[in-house]
């Protein structure tokens, strides 16, 4: 009986509060009542750590080494994004890169140079924890060797303040798949968690069929999502599509980040998949970073899209002005 009671309370509180988008308010709620404290304690025991407030940032598709008409400015947007993050009044504890860190090169030496350049810029981040997954432009030609040599494993998991983060690699195999080995690993990784544990998956390609004819899918993504389906608070962060997108299916919310090199058009606009042309008057238009606030009463993550528009370039209110005006990102 006692177990049933705890479970019901656990779910009730989880339903209104726990989730990637709601952790900011979870902790005070959990701490306010005896039942809440019990739930926090339960979560702490089951997850190894009770959820506590924090924020993190997702960056994606920096394509270091890319040079072409869609963006003749190379790494400028990436470098601006790093400055932006370092200038935030409250530093994120974690930055996640969701692939295509580099633009591929037929010359392995040149590709390695591009990866070093990426590391130089990413190394300026003040956030204490930075984690990466590869995109097909990082790993498609060499099966992930350069990525592994640089960062180690391309799939792994870790816990941070009571949230379980899972990095999945859906680009290193020949086909756009996660693959049976990684899926087996994921099943084992998830097994120790209660169904209410907050889980953030970060990967490169969408794990659902967004636009298969634009290669915006993962062949065995449904197997991944089937494993995650019993879990009630799942957020999947991905890149690849170079634009923001939100999709909810079951308990999972899938969120795509903008690129830091060029944007693709709306997949539902009936236009071809071609980069949105570069506008020299607005060099950072449609590019940007995404910040996810761990707070709010809603279970949905509170997403802030940040365009890297600067007054000196575009004549509009830029991010430095946001910061000066004290707007919290």
Partner 1 sequence: MTKARALALTMTMTLAALLAVASRGRADEPRVIDITAKRFEFSPATITLKKGEAVKLRVTSEDVTHGLFLRPLKIDTDLEPGQTREMTVTPEKTGTFLAICHHFCGAQHGNMKLTIVVE
Binding site for partner 1 (CB under 8 A): 103-106, 136-137, 140-141, 171, 174-176, 209, 212-215, 219, 273
Query: Hey, is 249 helix, strand or coil?
Result: strand
Q: β-pairing, 233-238 with 198-202?
A: parallel
Q: Which residue carries 């792994």 as its tokens?
A: 156
Rank residues 169 and 293 by Cβ distance to partner 1 and give the closer one.
Answer: 169
How far apart CA 48 and CA 53 sit, in angstroms, is: 16
Rank residues 220 and 293 by Cβ distance to partner 1 and give the closer one.
Answer: 220
Distance in Å, CB of 213 to partner 1, minimum: 4
Distance in Å, CB of 175 to partner 1, minimum: 6
Instruction: Report phi then psi at 121, rounded to 5.
Output: -75, -45
Distance in Å, CB of 194 to partner 1, minimum: 36
Rank residues 41 and 107 by Cβ distance to partner 1 and give the closer one.
Answer: 107
Distance in Å, CB of 61 to partner 1, minimum: 12
Q: β-pairing, 288-293 with 302-307?
A: antiparallel
Rank residues 219 and 296 by Cβ distance to partner 1 and give the closer one.
Answer: 219
Q: How many residues does the chain have?
A: 329
Tokens matching residue 166: 């899972």
How much of the chain is helix, strand and coil, in % rounded to 5?
35, 20, 50
Rank residues 61 and 293 by Cβ distance to partner 1 and give the closer one.
Answer: 61
Helix segments in 172-237, DSSP class H: 180-191, 221-228
Q: What is the DSSP letter of 182?
A: H
Distance in Å, CB of 210 to partner 1, minimum: 12
How far apart CA 300 and CA 19 sit, in angstroms, is: 8
Name the strand (E) or helix (H) holding 176: none
How far apart CA 288 and CA 307 sit, in angstroms, is: 5
Rank residues 57 and 171 by Cβ distance to partner 1 and give the closer one.
Answer: 171
Rank residues 27 and 172 by Cβ distance to partner 1 and give the closer one.
Answer: 172
Rank residues 136 and 293 by Cβ distance to partner 1 and give the closer one.
Answer: 136
Distance in Å, CB of 120 to partner 1, minimum: 22
How far apart CA 9 and CA 216 sit, in angstroms, is: 40
Tokens matching residue 304: 């802030």
Whether residue 62 contacts residue 260, with contact meaning beta carbons closer than 8 Å, is answered with yes
Distance in Å, CB of 20 to partner 1, minimum: 30
Distance in Å, CB of 180 to partner 1, minimum: 16
């Amino acid at each position: 009986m006692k177990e049933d009671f705890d479970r019901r309370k656990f779910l009730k509180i989880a339903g209104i509060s726990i989730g990637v988008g709601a952790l900011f308010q979870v902790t005070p709620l959990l701490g306010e009542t005896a039942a809440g404290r019990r739930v926090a304690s339960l979560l702490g025991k089951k997850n190894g750590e009770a959820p506590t407030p924090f924020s993190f940032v997702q960056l994606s598709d920096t394509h270091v080494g890319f040079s072409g008409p869609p963006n003749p400015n190379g790494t400028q947007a990436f470098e601006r994004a790093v400055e932006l993050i370092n200038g935030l009044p409250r530093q994120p504890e974690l930055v996640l890169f969701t692939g295509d860190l580099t633009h591929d090169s037929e010359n392995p030496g040149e590709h390695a140079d591009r990866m070093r350049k990426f590391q130089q810029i990413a190394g300026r981040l003040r956030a204490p924890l930075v984690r990466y997954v590869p995109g097909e432009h990082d790993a498609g030609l060499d099966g992930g060797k350069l990525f592994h040599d640089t960062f180690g494993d391309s799939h792994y998991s870790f816990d941070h303040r009571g949230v379980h983060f899972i990095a999945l690699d859906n680009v290193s195999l020949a086909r756009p798949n996660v693959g049976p080995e990684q899926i087996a690993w994921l099943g084992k990784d998830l097994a120790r968690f209660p169904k209410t544990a907050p889980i953030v998956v970060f990967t490169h390609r969408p794990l659902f069929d967004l636009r298969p004819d634009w290669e915006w899918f993962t062949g065995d993504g449904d197997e991944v999502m089937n494993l995650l389906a019993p879990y009630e608070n799942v957020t999947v962060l991905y890149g690849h599509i170079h634009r923001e997108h939100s999709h909810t299916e079951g308990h999972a919310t899938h969120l795509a980040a903008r690129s830091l090199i060029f944007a693709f058009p709306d997949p539902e606009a009936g236009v071809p998949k071609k980069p949105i042309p570069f506008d020299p008057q607005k060099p950072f238009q449609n590019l940007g970073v995404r910040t996810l606030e761990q707070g709010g009463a809603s279970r949905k993550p509170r997403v802030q899209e940040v365009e890297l528009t600067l007054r000196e370039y575009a004549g509009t209110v830029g991010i430095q002005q946001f910061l000066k005006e004290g707007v919290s990102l």
